[in-house]
Amino acid sequence: MKSEKALEILNILKKEYPSIPKSFLEFRNSFELLVSVILSAQCTDKMVNIVAPKLFAAFPDAKSLAGGNLDEIMAIIKPTGFFQNKARSIKNCAKELVERFGSKVPESVEELVTLPGVGRKTANVVTQIAFDKTEGVVIDTHVKRLSNRIGFSRHNDVDKIETDLMELFPKNVWKPLTFYLILHGRNVCDARKPDCENCVISPLCEFYSETKGRPVKKETAKKAAAKTTGSALTKKSAAPVKKSAAKKKAGI
């Protein structure tokens, strides 16, 4: 896709969603944001916003979380899922903050990704929202799905998708781009049942152009799902093996 078309799509989404939030996660400082983003993996922002205040009431800063009891941390964050790994990640992350950064959250993606449990997505969220510094594009599940469907990227790897978006859009829209795609993904472009007929960008969307005007065959739907969610296609069962003449004669 050319940048001109990509920007046209973005401008339509801007009109559709005239007000975007500063963040979908609730936080009071960069430390709380960092921990909350780690907890948000495979979990809704709504649930993180319920659990996080309880966690920060018990462990208000990096030092207290670093020295916190692992079982207690796990018990608090259990509703977010994968709580055992997440508990270790946030505890070890807090420990690294104390030992290497004087209990302060670093302000660059390069430094943030050296912390336990922190990848480019988390690092980009923290630098953009906590420090108003944009070094890349936040690629979450909605951004990944819509980038594939719309035609912004043909890759499944999140790092490659981020590179594609950074090349396609000017730097000054990298931050809001994520919010527009997330909002559209939540409201219209559902993972299983995208509401293409009521989508404001469907005339420009590659996924819609491939399926409009005709019923979507089961195999086509499977391929689209595999492309947008990374799921594997169900393999067709092998054709039955013909019986040999000898076996037929023997009644086998």
Among candidate residues 121, 144, 164, 175, the one labeled active-site is 121
Rounded to whole angstroms, the Cα distance separating 110 from 38 reads 17
Among candidate residues 86, 91, 140, 144, the one labeled active-site is 140
**14 CB-near residues (< 8 Å, 6+ apart):** 176, 180
Closest alpha carbon to 154 in 191, 206, 201, 115? 206
DSSP 108-125: SHHHHTTSTT--HHHHHH
Residue 101 Cα distances to 87, 95, 112, 115, angstroms: 20, 10, 10, 10
Residue 156 burial by Cβ neighbours in a 10 Å radius (0-12, 13-18, 19+): middle
Query: For residue 124, how many other CB atoms are within 10 A of its CB?
Result: 26
Residue 156 Cα distances to 145, 226, 233, angstroms: 9, 10, 15
Q: Is 140 known to be catalytic?
A: yes
- What single DSSP character describes residue 67? T
Q: Is 190 known to be catalytic?
A: no
Catalytic residue list: 121, 140
